[in-house]
Amino acid sequence: MLKKLTIVGAIIAGAIVAVMIMERGGQRSKYAVSICKVIEHEAIDAVVAGIKDYLGETDVKYTVDTCQGNSAIASQIISKFVGRRSDVIVAVGTTPSQVAFNYARKRKAKLVFSSVTNPDSISTKLAGTNTTGVSNFVPLGPQVKLVTEIQPNLKKLGIIYNTGESNSVDIVGKLMEVVKQYDVELIEQGIQKASDIPQAVEALLTKGVNAVFISNDNIALANIPLIVKLCNRVPVYVSDTDQVSKGCIAALGPNQYNIGIQTGKMIKRILYGEDINTIEIEYPSTTELHINKTKANEIGLNIPQEIMDQAVKTY
């Protein structure tokens, strides 16, 4: 009899535990959300912070790894995530997104990418592949216009980009067409690793660029202080608002933390049962203008007051 009571007690206890881990209309209390970052820098970290702040810690258990822009390392990380049966895999940046997509399209994972400039770089056929996400792309025209308004005599605009990052290559191609509208020549300088940056900056300065623009390239963004230092009195503009405080003159771009919030909302919809294949890719709904007036004054660059009045944040 005692043995039977013990068995019954165990069943009841199990049932109680099952009830305790169910909440919010039948949803599990803990979901496994696994995040792979392409590299360590403020913009990527801000995206992750936005995701975690929106989802909170109560219902979600996070695993966060960084692949350092290396597809082989990304493969190891994503394979680990899949083996752990993550409810959602979040890839922040293009390289881990491309790797994770190989699992998502085979229905082995649900992939939500974030801060990917060109979703086509993951695949031109994302529909029905267990993949969706949030891009960080904003139109290049207004960004170039901003530079020409601050520097009306701009003739040569330099850009440093990683030739191995498909998003960056795509941006350069688009920028080539945009600058023609402003009678500006784009001087491009490719790199493959951070140690190439000094030589790249020297090449741009030798070619007489009037300004340098960095657009969503992870290696360049991770080394903004070095680029600003090497450029000396040549203004540096950037698409990432988080980098303006490091000496860039201005950025007209999305708030990376808000991109994380956007991504978090998408993840929550999936965790709570919405079909990932019905959720469309999203883009930033707003842009912000950040200006470093201190740096502009330091290099003798006058920023018109009408532009200063539009800034969300100044340094």
pLDDT score, position 29: 59
C-alpha 261/C-alpha 282 separation (Å) is: 12
Q: Which two tokens stand for residue 51?
A: 């995701």
- Residue 9: is its pLDDT beyond 60? no
What is the per-residue burial (b if ≥16 Cβ within 10 Å, else e) of 160-187? bbbeebbbbbbbbebbeebbeeeebbbb
Mean pLDDT of 90-101: 97
| One-letter-per-residue 3-state SS of 149-212 | HHCCCCCEEEEEEECCCHHHHHHHHHHHHHHHCCCCEEEEEEECCHHHHHHHHHHHHHCCCCEE
Query: pLDDT-based confidence at 264, cuts 50/70/90?
Result: very high
Residue with tokens 């394979």, as numbered in its chain: 79
C-alpha 133/C-alpha 280 separation (Å) is: 8
Q: Which two tokens stand for residue 258?
A: 């808000």
Lowest mean pLDDT among 91-100, 161-170, 293-302: 161-170
CATH of the domain spanning 140-253+288-314: 3.40.50.2300
Helix (H) or strand (E) holding 88: strand 88-92
Indicate the pTM of the whole model: 0.83
Say if residues 148 and 184 touch (Cβ distance below 8 Å): yes
Q: Quick one: which of 288, 286, 266, 282 has its CA closest to 116?
A: 282
Q: Quick one: which of 293, 310, 168, 314 has its CA closest to 235?
A: 293
- Residue 61: is its pLDDT beyond 70? yes
CATH T-level assignment (fold) for domain 29-136+256-278: Rossmann fold (3.40.50)
* Domain ranges in the chain with CATH number 3.40.50.2300: 29-136+256-278, 140-253+288-314
3-state SS assignment for residue 302:
coil
- Residue 65: is its pLDDT beyond 80? yes
- Residue 187: is its pLDDT beyond 70? yes
